Amino acid sequence: MSRRAAVRLIDVAEHAGVSLATASRVLSSAGAYRGRGEARERVLASAAELGYEPNLHARALAGSQSSTIALVVHDIRDAYFALIAGAVVAAAEQHGMLVTIVSTYRDPQQEARYLALLRAQRPRAIILAGSGFTNRSAADPIREELQRYEGTGGVVVTLGRQDAGHSIIVGNQEGARSLAHAMVDLGHREFAVVTGPAKLMTVRDRLKGFRRGLEECGIDLDPAAVIHGAATRESGGTVAAQLAEAKHRPTCVFGSFDVVAVGLVAGFQRLGIAVPGEISVAGFGDVPVASDITPSLTTVRLPLEQVGQQAVELALSPDPAVRRSVAFEGVVMLRDSTAAPPA
Closest CA to 209 of 84, 132, 300: 300
Return the CATH number of the domain spanning residue range 67-170+305-330: 3.40.50.2300
Contacts made by residues 211-216, CB under 8 angstroms, sequence distance 24+? 211/180, 212/173, 212/177, 212/180, 213/176, 213/177, 213/178, 213/179, 213/180, 213/181, 213/184, 214/180, 214/184, 216/177, 216/180, 216/181
d(CA 303, CA 83): 10
Handedness of CA 49, 52, 53, 56 (dihedral sign): negative
Domain with CATH 3.40.50.2300 in the chain: 67-170+305-330, 172-302
Residue 267 host element (H or E): helix 258-270
Closest CA to 157 of 84, 241, 106: 84
Assign domain 9-54 to a CATH class.
mainly alpha
> How far from chain centre, in Å, is Cα 39?
29
pLDDT tens track, the chain, 343 positions: 344 566 788 888 889 898 887 887 787 654 455 556 788 888 888 888 888 876 554 554 454 568 899 999 999 999 999 999 999 999 999 999 999 999 999 999 999 999 999 988 889 999 999 888 988 888 999 999 998 898 888 999 999 775 788 999 999 999 999 999 999 999 999 999 999 999 999 999 999 999 999 999 999 999 999 999 999 999 999 999 999 999 889 999 999 999 999 999 999 999 999 999 999 999 999 999 999 999 999 999 999 999 999 999 999 987 777 889 999 999 999 999 999 999 8
Domain with CATH 1.10.260 in the chain: 9-54
Handedness of CA 41, 43, 48, 49 (dihedral sign): positive
Judged by DSSP in three states, 137 sits in helix
CATH for the 172-302 domain, from 3.40.50.2300, 3.20.20.300, 3.30.70.20, 3.30.310.80:
3.40.50.2300
For 308: left if phi > 0, alpha if psi spans -120 to 50, otherwise beta; the answer is: alpha
